[in-house]
Structure 1
Amino acid sequence: MDQGNTAFILIAAAFVLLMTPGLAFFYGGLVKAKSVISMMMMSFGALGLIGVLWVLFGYAIAFPGAEGTVAPWAIDWSAIGLTSLLETPEDAAYPPMAFVCFQATFAILTVALVSGAIADRAKFGAWMLFAGVWATVVYFPVASWVFNFGLADDGSFEYGGWITKGLQDVFGVGAIDFAGGTAVHINAGAAALALALVLGKRVGFQKGVHVPHNPPFVLLGAGLLWFGWFGFNAGSELAADGTAALAFINTIAAPAAALLAWLLVEKIKDGKPTSVGAASGAVAGLVAITPACASVDPIWAIVLGFIAGAACALAIELKYKLGFDDSLDVVGIHLVGGLIGTLYLGFFANGTGLFMGGDASQLIVQAIAALAVLAYSFVLAFVIGLAIEKTIGFRVKNEDEIAGIDTVVHGEVGYTLSDAKV
């Protein structure tokens, strides 16, 4: 067992776990002051619920091993409760439980990401029910499609889900998603769009009405997300080597370029670059580089960052033109950014991209993977969300939304400015 790589994986897992509290700050700063507790609690609620479900059965669904080859849904019954993974095989590079820990943090964050689309108007209990069901029927199997693979000595997929091994069998190459462009960002973004449609628009929804109440929170959250993202991307190599180092530098380059591009778009379009724009641009670049971080050179990571930053800055305006209320721009940043990063590999992936010595096969499999995850997640999230809305109700009353839902849902306020009772 390589103790260095084991330490690397466990530290990376801790980095990624920090991303969920970071997301809570990022989202919390974007909502109004009387909804900040509600918003942050949806991230922390996901942390608690998905952490438990992952141990009970989530890992068993997401990583059925060779038994789940190409299957859209499989489960390793021996991994229920993780008891079978406590011992480390003599020839293992790291303890199986280290990988379990690392992947648990991905599941938690992906579910938490979805909550940004329904800020200011969702019941906490309904959200928790959605989170548990969606994770079980969407995230866990999609993670298996993307992350459940084993490699042969020549680097080809020896086994894996249909997005990796299955597409390789048909097209000669499997889809590239090093750290979760499809499984995390397209998946969460599609679910966010579905929930935004189910819950409908906030009261008084129009451009300029709902403004961030705490931009410093947004910047703090973006900083924590960026910090954690090094574990997210570099950690996905599962070894402290050159590939991890490449993923690390690309996780600096792409979001830095995206931050600049977003600010440039704001300056041209609105006349002023904003702090929220800087934070959002960095996150857009982080999203886009996630699937590509180990497959493009740093110069192409910068190009990807500029494209993603500018495109996402424009994409967040679509909700006003198309009439859906994605409160905190999960669709405009995570869905659009995830699609850009995933499809970009079809052109610029080292060795297989259309402009990097390959043919159209890589672009085709990237598009198939992206669209399949988008459609699967959107449809099931819409069905689950609609079922909850029609039964126990997903959305709070309009009067509670206007007043601010922190006191109604949680009996707390985000800011107490005096000792007087509120």
Structure 2
Amino acid sequence: MAPAAITLAAEAPKLSAANTGFMLICSALVMLMTPGLAFFYGGMVRVKSTLNMLMMSFISLGIITILWVLYGFSVAFGTDKGSLFGWDGDYVGLSGIGLTQLWDGYTIPIYVFAVFQLMFAIITPALISGALADRVKFTAWSLFIALWATIVYFPVAHWVWGTGGWAFDLGVIDFAGGTAVHINAGAAALGVILVIGKRVGFKKDPMRPHSLPWTMLGAGLLWFGWFGFNAGSWLGNDDGVGALMFVNTQVATAAAMLAWLVYEKLRHGAFTSLGAASGAVAGLVAITPSGGAVSPLGAIAVGAIAGVLCAMAVGLKYKFGYDDSLDVVGVHLVGGIVGSLLIGFFATGGGQSDAQGLFYGGGLTQFWKQCAGVGGVLAYSLIASAILAFLIDKTIGMRVSEDDEVTGIDQTEHAETAYDFSGAGGGAAARTAVPSPVAQESKKVDA
């Protein structure tokens, strides 16, 4: 007689030193993306706005970190309240969490998960800043991101990733932030610029990037950090899904960069460094929601489609008259939408879940779920962000004065300039130079 079958209870997850170390490294990579973003944006503005652009990203590292510890983590990942936000008293101030207490269902401590998600919360409002270059008061910007994170980002993160969030329960796929980060930030950028208006000289004065090497450096740092952003979002390294996401991140980014360059060569007659940098970021954005669901061949398609559509979209601001200074709407909003919706066509069912897209026999079921997630986040962020900008503008004022904008926001808001040219031509060479004829004549008269 065969021995009786013995049913054993599933073993509870145990802390994995490997996964914990991996996630801490990923968290550091994501943190690096915010300074990378500062360089990416900073190189694209005129020289008189360089420091302000850097500071608009750096201040997010300070403000959002404190808010996340105080209550942001609780709102985003606490116990669900009506599918709209979370709350958990133990997460307030991160004060009720044990050192080795694991994030539910995973092998990493809650502290590690919290700090990883903190880096997402930091970079998302920083993304918005690129649309507002040259014209926003630094105090108003600081207040805006504090309110925006509280009212928009923290709840939206719960919708998409928190247990019980409406998008999470609906089955919307967003591996690492196509909706919660990129559509959220892109829609917010559009909402704010519709309220505060255009820069002085928009469509009249040349507003060329002052340092494309800075922009290329920033794009490279973003690309590097994005491996942590994407591959780390699986919260471990045990089953190959994180590895798939890592590969797809590289593949889609390369495809998008090439597609953007081909498009601009055909459309404008040149391969530009700004196009290469922007195309790479468009690919990174598009693969962020989809990379755990598609194959590497699918990632090529996602990247190529996003590269072309985002390149086309950046010109819409001139057609419709909204001043998106550094193409946050064209790259992050459009790229996030493209990457999120293409899951409905290219999901294989063999990656992060068994959900299949149209091209893999799954019909349009997943596509409609993606539409719901995209539409819900876009509408909420657009409207809430516009209202916040309107209220701030009507109270403390959102924009600097026209004179301050023309003078340069670095000088008027920060009392600094990015480059000091006062010593140009000085030094030992200048001290030993031959005196001018006027100076020589003056010496003769004195003698």
Place the TM-score, normalised by the shorter chain, in its bin: over 0.9
Q: Aligned match of 2:197 in 197, 200, 218? A: 200
Report the Cα distance in structure 2 between the residues aligned to 1:288 and 1:195, rounded to whole angstroms.
Answer: 23
Cα RMSD, aligned residues only: 1.3
Q: Aligned match of 1:68 in 57, 80, 86? A: 80
Q: Aligned match of 1:347 in 345, 354, 367? A: 345
Q: Residues 89 and 399 (structure 1 numbering): CA distance in 2 closer, same or farther, change over 3 Å?
A: closer
Instruction: Indicate conservation of the 8 Å contact 1:207/1:320, yes or no.
Output: no
Q: Aligned match of 1:309 in 307, 319, 334? A: 307
Report the Cα distance in structure 2 between the residues aligned to 1:206 and 1:46, rounded to whole angstroms.
Answer: 30
Matched, 1:120 2:134: yes
Q: Aligned match of 1:31 in 42, 45, 48? A: 45
Q: CA deviation at 1:71?
A: 1.4
Query: Corresponding residue for 2:90?
Result: 78
Report the Cα distance in structure 2 between the residues aligned to 1:70 and 1:255, rounded to whole angstroms.
Answer: 37
Query: Corresponding residue for 2:445?
Result: none
Q: Aligned match of 2:225 in 212, 223, 228? A: 228
Matched, 1:395 2:433: no
The SS at the match of 1:68 is strand
What whole-Å deviation, never above 9, does each CA across 1:339-366 have from its counterpart, x for those lacking one? 0000000111112211112122101110
The SS at the match of 1:122 is coil
Question: Letter of the aligned partner of 2:91 in structure 1?
Answer: A
Question: Letter of the aligned partner of 1:79 in structure 2?
Answer: Y
Report the Cα distance in structure 2 between the residues aligned to 1:59 and 1:235, rounded to whole angstroms.
Answer: 18
Instruction: Indicate conservation of the 8 Å contact 1:42/1:112, yes or no.
Output: yes
What whole-Å deviation, never above 9, does each CA across 1:102-126 have from its counterpart, x for those lacking one? 0000000001001111001011000
Question: Letter of the aligned partner of 2:283 in structure 1?
Answer: G
Instruction: Indicate conservation of the 8 Å contact 1:187/1:374, yes or no.
Output: yes
Instruction: Indicate conservation of the 8 Å contact 1:28/1:39, yes or no.
Output: yes
Query: Corresponding residue for 1:3?
Result: 17
Report the Cα distance in structure 1 between the residues aligned to 2:284 and 2:253, rounded to whole angstroms.
Answer: 5
Q: CA deviation at 1:69?
A: 6.5
Report the Cα distance in structure 2 between the residues aligned to 1:255 and 1:198, rounded to whole angstroms.
Answer: 33
Q: CA deviation at 1:418?
A: 3.1
Report the Cα distance in structure 2 between the residues aligned to 1:69 and 1:350, rounded to whole angstroms.
Answer: 33
The SS at the match of 1:115 is helix
Query: Corresponding residue for 2:269?
Result: 271
Question: Letter of the aligned partner of 1:414 in structure 2?
Answer: A
Query: Corresponding residue for 1:188?
Result: 185
Larger deviation: 198-207 or 110-119? 198-207
Query: Corresponding residue for 1:372?
Result: 376
Q: Which structure has the larger Rg?
A: 2
Question: Letter of the aligned partner of 1:32 in structure 2?
Answer: R
Matched, 1:239 2:236: yes
Q: CA deviation at 1:78?
A: 2.3
Report the Cα distance in structure 1 between the residues aligned to 2:325 and 2:299, rounded to whole angstroms.
Answer: 29
Instruction: Indicate conservation of the 8 Å contact 2:85/2:165, yes or no.
Output: no
Matched, 1:417 2:414: no
Counting only pairs closer than 5 Å after superposition, residues 12-27 of structure 1 correspond to structure 2 as 12-27=26-41
Instruction: Indicate conservation of the 8 Å contact 2:81/2:87, yes or no.
Output: no
The SS at the match of 2:87 is coil
Instruction: Indicate conservation of the 8 Å contact 2:57/2:126, yes or no.
Output: yes
Question: Letter of the aligned partner of 2:420 in structure 1?
Answer: T
Query: Corresponding residue for 1:383?
Result: 387
Gaps in structure 2 of 5+ consecutive residues: 1-14, 350-355, 425-447
Query: Corresponding residue for 1:283?
Result: 281
Report the Cα distance in structure 1 between the residues aligned to 2:204 and 2:127, rounded to whole angstroms.
Answer: 22
Larger deviation: 296-305 or 237-246? 237-246
Instruction: Indicate conservation of the 8 Å contact 2:89/2:96, yes or no.
Output: no
Instruction: Indicate conservation of the 8 Å contact 2:24/2:112, yes or no.
Output: yes
Report the Cα distance in structure 2 between the residues aligned to 1:255 and 1:37, rounded to whole angstroms.
Answer: 28
The SS at the match of 2:95 is helix
Report the Cα distance in structure 1 between the residues aligned to 2:101 and 2:184, rounded to whole angstroms.
Answer: 33
Report the Cα distance in structure 2 between the residues aligned to 1:177 and 1:396, rounded to whole angstroms.
Answer: 37
Query: Corresponding residue for 1:156?
Result: none
Instruction: Indicate conservation of the 8 Å contact 2:106/2:235, yes or no.
Output: no
Report the Cα distance in structure 2 between the residues aligned to 1:418 and 1:231, rounded to whole angstroms.
Answer: 42
Report the Cα distance in structure 1 between the residues aligned to 2:138 and 2:408, rounded to whole angstroms.
Answer: 14
Question: Letter of the aligned partner of 2:195 in structure 1?
Answer: V
Q: Residues 92 and 286 (structure 1 numbering): CA distance in 2 closer, same or farther, change over 3 Å?
A: closer
Q: CA deviation at 1:70?
A: 5.6
What whole-Å deviation, never above 9, does each CA across 1:8-40 have from its counterpart, x for those lacking one? 110000000000000000000010001000011
Report the Cα distance in structure 2 between the residues aligned to 1:397 and 1:208, rounded to whole angstroms.
Answer: 18
TM-score by length of 2: 0.88
Instruction: Indicate conservation of the 8 Å contact 2:260/2:279, yes or no.
Output: yes
Report the Cα distance in structure 2 between the residues aligned to 1:280 and 1:7, rounded to whole angstroms.
Answer: 32
Q: Residues 348 and 208 (structure 1 numbering): CA distance in 2 closer, same or farther, change over 3 Å?
A: farther
Q: Residues 238 and 328 (structure 1 numbering): CA distance in 2 closer, same or farther, change over 3 Å?
A: same
Matched, 1:51 2:65: yes
Report the Cα distance in structure 1 between the residues aligned to 2:201 and 2:385, rounded to whole angstroms.
Answer: 25
Question: Letter of the aligned partner of 2:226 in structure 1?
Answer: W
Instruction: Indicate conservation of the 8 Å contact 1:69/1:162, yes or no.
Output: no
What whole-Å deviation, never above 9, does each CA across 1:131-154 have from its counterpart, x for those lacking one? 0000001000000111113xxxxx
Question: Letter of the aligned partner of 1:361 in structure 2?
Answer: T
Q: CA deviation at 1:208?
A: 7.2
Q: CA deviation at 1:79?
A: 1.0
The SS at the match of 2:179 is helix
Report the Cα distance in structure 2 between the residues aligned to 1:138 and 1:19, rounded to whole angstroms.
Answer: 21
Q: CA deviation at 1:199?
A: 1.2
